[in-house]
Amino acid sequence: ERDVCSWNTILSGYAQSGCVDEARKVFDRMPEKNEISWNALLSAYVQNSRMEEACRLFESRENWALVSWNCLLGGFVKKKNVVKA
C-alpha cells in the first residue's frame, strides 16, 4: 500500500511532465493529502497556465502556506493579470 510520500512522487511526476489532468486524477485518488500534495497540483496548474483551475483549487481549502500564495501570485504575474494578483 502506498503512503502519502509515494502518492506525492507520482503526483509530482505527472505535474512536472505537464500531464496536469493525470496529476489531478492521482490527487483525487489519494487517500491522504498533505501540503506537498496540494502544492504540487497548484504548481501544475500555474505552470501550465491553467489559472482558473488553480484559483478553484486555492479557494477549495483554507490555511495555505506562504509558498502556495507565492506560486499563485507568480502565475498571475506571468499572465500579466496584476488585478487578480
Other CB atoms within a 10 A radius of the CB of residue 26 amount to 21
Contact 71, 39 (CB under 8 A): yes
How does pLDDT run across 61-85, given as a tens digit for each residue?
A: 888 878 888 888 888 877 666 555 4
Residue 84 maps to a domain: no
83 falls within a domain? no
Q: Report pLDDT for 85.
A: 46
- 38, part of any domain: yes
pLDDT digits (tens, 9 = 90+) for 2-33: 899 999 999 999 999 999 999 999 999 999 99
Overall domain count for the chain:
1
Q: Where are the alpha helices (DSSP H) in 1-85?
A: 4-16, 20-29, 35-47, 51-59, 66-78
**Domain extent at residue 41:** 4-78
What does the alpha-carbon distance between residue 44 and residue 8 come to, in Å, rounded to a whole number? 13
In a domain, 85, yes or no: no
Eight-class DSSP state of 58 = H
pTM, full prediction: 0.84
Q: What is the pLDDT of residue 60?
A: 92
Among 4, 60, 24, 21, which residue's Cα sits nearest to residue 68? 60
The answer to whether residue 46 is domain-embedded is yes
More confident residue, 35 or 73: 35
